[in-house]
Amino acid sequence: MNTKQQNIRTLSLTDLEDYFLSIGEKKFRARQVYDWLWLKPVQGFDAMSNISKELRQKLGDRFSFPALTVDTTQHSEDGTIKSRFKTTEGYFTEGVLIPTDERKTACVSSQIGCSLSCKFCATGYIERKRNLTFDEIFDEVALINQQSLEVYDKKLTNIVFMGMGEPLLNYKNVLKAVERITSPEGLAMSPRRITVSTAGVAKQIRQLGDDQVKFKLALSLHAANDKKRHEIMPINDTNNIQSLIEALNYFYKQTKNEITFEYILFNNFNDSLEDADELIKVYRQVPADLVNLIEYNPIEFAKFTKPSEEKVDAFMKHLEKNRVNARLRRSRGKDIDAACGQLANKGK
């Protein structure tokens, strides 16, 4: 067998039509196959039920179809479902279905592991193996959408790139995946229901503006001065808060898209009223819609703990008193290590 087969999902519809005509098949076969790849996605040629066995064999000989598969799933008491996905060469990555009454959200990964080493995040302690390809990211969403339909009888309503990895360090694949997810010939989701979360790569935030993307952007801030942010997020060395403020303003000027700040509260580190004042200062320099306060989910590698409810409440009230639009995000799926910052391919 040819070991350098072309991945069939890198072909356009026109490419597929040319291929079928070249082997003496009817042109409409291309549309049938294309629909199986993107509109009613399957994980292999054998599942393409309206294509003859002989033709499926020809496709398998000529092309590769490196799809993600679900390796394991865990169900939380709160309804959250975490899936560990397996790549064709045996790497693992994770995605989460987060259900509420109003929405069904997929939290997806963009890399296998992560290179940023944020001190509070379990993924930051795993070596980055490689970027996920655009079709693997698409698979994550399609498989979680399938779970949502099976378990809750509802399609996904939202997607957040808040799983493993830094999306803006896998820029082209993330944008191409979003293109397929939002295409009428794919999952037809509105880009306004997609949020890409970044630890802060200023150059790429500006690039998003230049590329006129339609999705929302979330910045993982977690500390509102450079000294503290450097302690927990080494990326701050090369992308300090001022450079991120300027990049976010540029992004907003180009796109007018919604911007959110993500801020995890760590006990006795970034949860004082002085910290809140510094956060307010940053918030006022960017046309941000919201500050998402996130409760910390302890992980075995890190020394951080979560603050008391009283401290969280005082921090929240201080923001509200200063007219900051803030929301406290309660973590879901903690009992299965599916909550914010807990994805680490456990049980591999």
Active site members: 94, 340
CB atoms within 10 A of CB 332: 21
Q: What is the DSSP letter of 94?
A: E
Do β-strands 69-75 and 81-86 pair in parallel, antiparallel, or remain unpaired? antiparallel
Angle of the 171-182 helix axis to the 134-152 helix axis, nearest 10: 40
Structure tokens at 343: 């994805």
H runs (alpha helix) in 300-347 = 309-321
CB atoms within 10 A of CB 46: 13
Spell out the residues 6+ positions from residue 257 whose beta carbon is closer than 8 angstroms to its own.
213, 214, 215, 216, 217, 251
Cβ–Cβ < 8 Å for 245, 286:
yes
Do β-strands 63-64 and 69-75 pair in parallel, antiparallel, or remain unpaired? unpaired
Spell out the residues 6+ positions from residue 189 whose beta carbon is closer than 8 angstroms to its own.
156, 159, 181, 182
Cβ–Cβ < 8 Å for 69, 93:
no
DSSP three-state, residue 140 = helix
Cβ–Cβ < 8 Å for 218, 197:
yes
